[in-house]
Structure 1
């Protein structure tokens, strides 16, 4: 599991990835996590299977290596856990969920 402190420090670690798997409409309602890449959970498997060039063109960042630290966030942690499990199934070895997700992030920002 990823912690709030780890997620807060993501902008200082360009080698790590923070994926927000909420839908775009949710981001518009609440806001976004700094340095996160939005890939809705329903699109995640397709995105992680993209060729490197296509991933970079679509998401503006190099596709994560199989051993890259990948943190997944959603609203309350459920989809983040499913996303981390999906990434692990696809062969990514350092995928983890941010259990508190947006709910914890927002509470600690105020």
Structure 2
């Protein structure tokens, strides 16, 4: 599991990836995590199977290597856990969920 501190530091660690698997409508309501890439959970498998060039064109960043650190976030952690498990089944060995996800992020940012 990823921690709030790890997620907060993502903008300073360009080798790590932060994926927000919420739907676009949810992001419009709440905002986004800094440096996150939005790939809604239903689109994740297709996105992670894209050729490198297509991934970069679609998401503005190089496709992660299979050993890249990938942190998944959603609203409360459930979809993030499913996303991390999906990524692992596709061969991404360092996929983890941010258990607190947006709910924890919002609470800690308010302090």
TM-score (norm: length of structure 2): 0.99
Q: Where does structure 1 lack aligned partners over 5 or more consecutive residues?
A: none
Moved over 2 A (4+): none
Pairwise CA RMSD: 0.1
Q: CA deviation at 1:100?
A: 0.0
Match of 1:36 in 2: 36
Match of 1:52 in 2: 52
Q: Equivalents in 2 of 1:2, 1:89: separation in Å?
A: 19
Spell out, residue by residue over 1:50-93, the C-alpha distance to the aligned partner (whole angstroms, 9 max, x if none).
00000000000000000000000000000000000000000000
Match of 1:92 in 2: 92
Name the count of aligned residue pairs: 110
SS state at 1:35 partner: coil
Q: CA deviation at 1:96?
A: 0.1
Describe how 1:1-110 pairs up with structure 2 within 5 A.
Answer: 1-110=1-110
Q: CA deviation at 1:49?
A: 0.1
Q: Equivalents in 2 of 1:109, 1:6: separation in Å?
A: 14
Q: CA deviation at 1:9?
A: 0.2
Q: CA deviation at 1:48?
A: 0.1
Q: Equivalents in 1 of 2:25, 2:14: separation in Å?
A: 26
Q: Equivalents in 2 of 1:94, 1:77: separation in Å?
A: 17
Q: Equivalents in 1 of 2:60, 2:69: separation in Å?
A: 18
